[in-house]
A and B are shown apart, each in its own frame.
Chain A
Amino acid sequence: MRSSAAAEFLRKAAEKAADVAHRQTIRRNISSYDLSVGRGKLRFSDWEEARRRCAEIKWEAINHLDKYLLEFEQKVQARGGHVFWASNAEEARQYIEDLVTSRGVKLVVKAKSMVTEEIHLASALERRGVEVLETDLGEFIVQLRKEPPYHIVTPAMHLSRADISRLFREKLEGVTSDEPEELVAAARRALRKAFFAADVGITGANFLVADAGMIALTTNEGNARLCTALPRIHVAVAGIEKVIPRLADLALLWPTLATAGTGQHLTTYNTLIGGPRQPGEQDGPEEFHVILLDNGRTELLADPEQRDVLHCIRCGACLNACPVYRTVGGHTYATTYPGPIGSVLTPHLRGLEGWQHLSYASSLCGNCTSVCPVRIDLHHHLLHNRRNAVEKTRHGWLENVSFRAWRWTMMSSARFGFAGRVGRFAVRFVNKLGLSGTIIDPMRTWTRHRSLPEVPRESFRQLWRKRHGQR
């Protein structure tokens, strides 16, 4: 059954597929990404081996969540940090809303975090009268445009410098050109004030390091450091799958994340935070809260077929590699996580009934799987979602009947041969009448976008029989 989300996806996809300016912007941005990642991989003595080892680290963590999450919690608590286990988005939001309300918070600064998008945190806080400012430059830009992020790593990938300059001239002071330095300076002026004024800094966590009891944060702009060092309270929100066993694992995970994400050797700022300011320390927040979010993840954990989806380190490589993402763009998905990982994950987070269309919106080319730094079997999981959609949801009856009829035909070579003759005759007939490509063409789903091949009078099996007899 076609959901409203599916209808909207089809509409927006068709619009973007025909949007030449969009295609050019994305192509330009992704081809510079490709170049940089290509160079980045060469810095590894063996990139494939790095992928295998990263997958092993994540495998170990995901299959021992009970052990590593508890170890993490215990160490954070020992330093005076708070750990809250949220089973769903509602509980996570509630905890943070209660926190900011009880502390009389007016302004929150946020570092980029997809999981806070997943729980719709900013809008919930704004409803409570709290101002929320995104401090990652890309997030800051899309927030000014009142848009969700276009991409999980580069949220403003769909915008050109001219677009950003226009936006800044309208919303910020002191912008007169589209020189990158001037644009960045304008954003910095707006953000610096907020860092000092904010009571709460909210971040995600790229990794939860179990043996150290620390969260690991990665940014290119240093904004997460300011979010965590200046405000009185630091709240980190992380999916439970973010845990890794050992501090030593970062030696491989950090460069791999950076390389897959942007082609950098290491992301510019990497920070480890293990609790609030300790006695005798000069900086750091008075309060440190970590929210460990489940929100459907344990159900995914219970699925042996797709458990490896929890390996994801949100590097964005599969989005960049995906020809469908490049064609329809991030917003068309209308999900927190777009692209291949989003198409695989969203049915688990929001339900297969309404979100199965994303698993069908793929040519199954497999490029996502081949670039994934933690070797998630992405395109095969799209197949698994499709199978589950047919078995477990109200899937189009016409399609079900058609495949049943097709199977009946294909179960006999005589029926197949006969159906082929009829089909080929029909196609030739339609073409002869000049209907091909017109609105009443029965093959319109094909011919609307491309020409039909010329169809032969005789099939291979007919020709073969003529030449060779039965064998």
Chain B
Amino acid sequence: MATRIALFIPCFVDQITPQVGLDTARVLERVGCSVYFPSEQTCCGQPAFNTGHWDDARPLAERFVRVFADAETVVCPSGSCTAMVRNFYPELLASSPLRQDAIELGRRVFELSEFLVKVANVTDVEASFPHRVTFHDSCHALRELGIRNEPRELLKNVRGLELVEMPASEECCGFGGMFAVKFGAISASMGDSKAENVAATGAEYVASIDGSCLMHIEGVLRRRKDAARTIHLASVLAQEIQ
């Protein structure tokens, strides 16, 4: 398979967890894709869109559509940012000349696990990660994109990895973008519940396909001085068999 993939690296992954971006590229290359990074990309516009500032989000959405206009297939290590493009651009760009382009682009943008399992038909990426791992379903991936089994299938085939389900894995971790700072106390309390559910599994790692959830969960875990750490699915899958 020689699919040529344009990487869509969410802005916070770019700035805060660049390793996740590199790992995404590594996994895609390992399954035989060629990967490039359209360096003109910035942000999909979701922070403004979710906060109600649609007039500020719109030019960014249009810009995004132009930057990825020529890309055959776009892969993103985030369910949330993928959902923004696929599910929300048509509404945000309802009266934009780029609306149809956005709808077509939405069909070519995939979250990483979704791409691997559903498009590339790969469930074993020949990775090794000998740890006890629990998986957190991120809300946008689960409820906007319907991604539930894909990451689990990939994790189950990772050598040495023991996947343990936590109670209420589908419950929101409390991040929610601006919600996390506008309503910090509520967000932190929700994060606490998530951390308790993680602790109940005895897992060393919480994996997820959304780095924004993980940034919040990691912050809560550290503040609670819990032993568990977070890891992005891409970084688990990037670990090669020695």
Binding site for B on A (CB under 8 A): 10, 13-14, 17-18, 23, 323-324, 327-328, 360-367, 369-370, 383, 385-391, 395, 399-400, 403-404, 406-407, 410-413, 416, 420, 423-424, 445-446, 448-453, 455-456, 458-465, 468, 470-471
Smallest distance from the beta carbon of A471 to chain B beta carbons, Å? 5
- Do A451 and B222 contact each other (CB < 8 Å), given the known contacts A17-B188, A364-B139, A383-B50? yes
A17 and B186 within 8 A (CB) = yes
A369 to B43, CA, bound (A): 27
Q: How far is the CB of B135 from chain A (nearest CB, A)?
A: 16
- Contact across chains for B16 and A416 when beta carbons are under 8 A apart: no
B188 proximity list for chain A (CB < 8 A): 17, 449-450
B172 contacts which of A13, A365, A410, A416 (Cβ < 8 Å)? A365
B173 → A minimal CB distance (Å): 8
B residues at A contact (CB < 8 Å):
9, 11, 13-19, 21-22, 36-37, 39-43, 45, 47-57, 59-60, 63, 139-140, 143-144, 170-172, 174-191, 193, 215-216, 218-220, 222-223
Contact (A360, B14) CB under 8 Å given A403-B48, A446-B219, A450-B222:
no
Q: Which of B17, B43, B187 lies in contact with A449, CB distance below 8 A?
A: B187
Given contacts A410-B43, A463-B22, are A366 and B143 in contact (CB under 8 A)? yes
Q: Which of B52, B54, B60, B190 has the most CB of A within 10 A?
A: B52
Measured in the bound complex, the distance between the Cα atoms of B174 and A445 in whole Å is 14
Q: Are B48 and A407 in contact (CB under 8 A)?
A: yes
Interface pairs A-B: 4 shortest CB-CB: A363-B176, A450-B219, A386-B52, A449-B188
Find the A residue at minimum CB distance from B142.
A366
Residues from chain B with a CB closer than 8 A to the CB of A423 are 15
Asked whether, in the complex, the Cβ of A323 is within 8 Å of the Cβ of B171, the reply is: yes
Residue of A nearest to B138 (CB): A365
Q: Are A363 and B187 in contact (CB under 8 A)?
A: yes
B179–A456 contact, CB under 8 A? no
Q: Mostly helix, strand, loop or mixed at chain B's interface?
A: helix
List chain B residues, Cβ under 8 A from A413.
Answer: 39-42
Of chain A, the residue at the smallest CB distance from B183 is: A361
Query: Are A451 and B175 in contact (CB-based, < 8 A)?
Result: no
Closest B residue to A370 using CB positions: B143
A449: chain B residues at CB < 8 Å are: 184-185, 187-188, 191, 219-220, 223
Nearest-neighbor residue (CB-CB) of A385 within chain B: B52
B50 in contact with A364 (CB, 8 Å): yes
Identify whether the interface residues of A are mostly helix, strand, loop, or mixed.
helix
CB-contact partner of A451 in B170, B178, B218, under 8 A: B218
Q: A410-B42, A456-B18, A458-B18 are in contact. Are A17 and B215 (CB under 8 A)?
A: no
Chain A to chain B contacts (Cβ below 8 Å), 27 pairs: A10-B183, A13-B185, A18-B185, A363-B172, A364-B140, A364-B179, A365-B171, A367-B172, A383-B52, A387-B54, A390-B52, A391-B55, A399-B53, A410-B42, A411-B63, A412-B42, A416-B42, A424-B15, A446-B181, A449-B185, A450-B191, A450-B222, A453-B218, A455-B15, A460-B14, A464-B37, A465-B39
Known: A363-B139, A460-B15, A468-B36. 17 other contacts (CB 8 A): A14-B185, A323-B190, A360-B182, A364-B140, A365-B143, A365-B171, A366-B144, A388-B52, A390-B51, A391-B54, A403-B51, A412-B42, A413-B41, A416-B43, A449-B223, A463-B18, A463-B22
- B15 and A18 contact, CB distance less than 8 A: no
Most chain B CB within 10 A, of A324, A366, A460, is at A460
Q: Is the CB of B48 within 8 A of A13?
A: no
Q: Which of A445, A449, A450 lies at the interface centre, i.e. has the most chain B CB atoms within 10 A of its CB?
A: A450
CA distance A74 to B189 in the complex (A): 52
Of chain A, the residue at the smallest CB distance from B83 is A366
Closest to A321 in B: B171
Alpha-carbon separation in the docked complex, A416 to B53 (Å): 19
Tell which of B18, B218, B222 touches A459, judged by Cβ atoms closer than 8 Å: B18
Q: How far is the CA of A260 from the CA of B183 in the complex (A)?
A: 29
**Cα(A223)–Cα(B72), bound, Å:** 64
Chain A residues whose CB sits within 8 angstroms of the CB of B45 once the complex forms? 410
The residues of A that contact B53 with a CB separation of less than 8 Å are 390, 399-400, 403
Residues of A within 8 A of B37 (CB): 461, 464, 468, 471
In the complex, which residues of chain B have a beta carbon less than 8 angstroms from the beta carbon of A369? Answer: 143
In the bound complex, what is the Cα–Cα distance between A393 and B190 (angstroms)? 30
Docked complex Cα distance between A423 and B16 (Å): 10
| Contacting residues, chain A, for B223 (C-beta < 8 A) | 449-451
Which residues from chain B contact A470 at a C-beta distance below 8 Å? Answer: 39
User: Chain A nearest CB: distance from B207 CB in Å?
Assistant: 16
Residues of B with C-beta under 8 A to A450:
188, 191, 216, 219-220, 222-223
From the candidates A328, A362, A389, A460, name the one contacting B18 in the complex (CB within 8 A).
Answer: A460
A410–B219 Cα distance when bound, in Å, is 26
A17 adjacent to B18 (CB under 8 Å) = no
Given contacts A328-B186, A450-B191, contact A366 B139 (CB under 8 A): yes
Chain A nearest CB, measured from B131 CB (Å): 20
| B39/A464 in contact, CB under 8 A | yes
B15 to chain A, nearest CB (A): 4
Contact of B174 among A13, A363, A462 (CB under 8 A): A363
The answer to whether A420 and B179 touch across the interface, beta carbons within 8 angstroms, is no
B171 — which chain A residues lie within 8 A by C-beta?
Answer: 323, 365, 367
The complex places the Cα of A446 from the Cα of B183 at a distance, in Å, of 10
Q: Which residue of chain B has the shortest Cβ distance to A364 in the bound complex?
A: B176
Please judge, given known A-B contacts A323-B172, A386-B50, A449-B185, whether A411 and B139 are in contact too, CB under 8 Å. no
**A residues within 8 A CB of B49?**
383
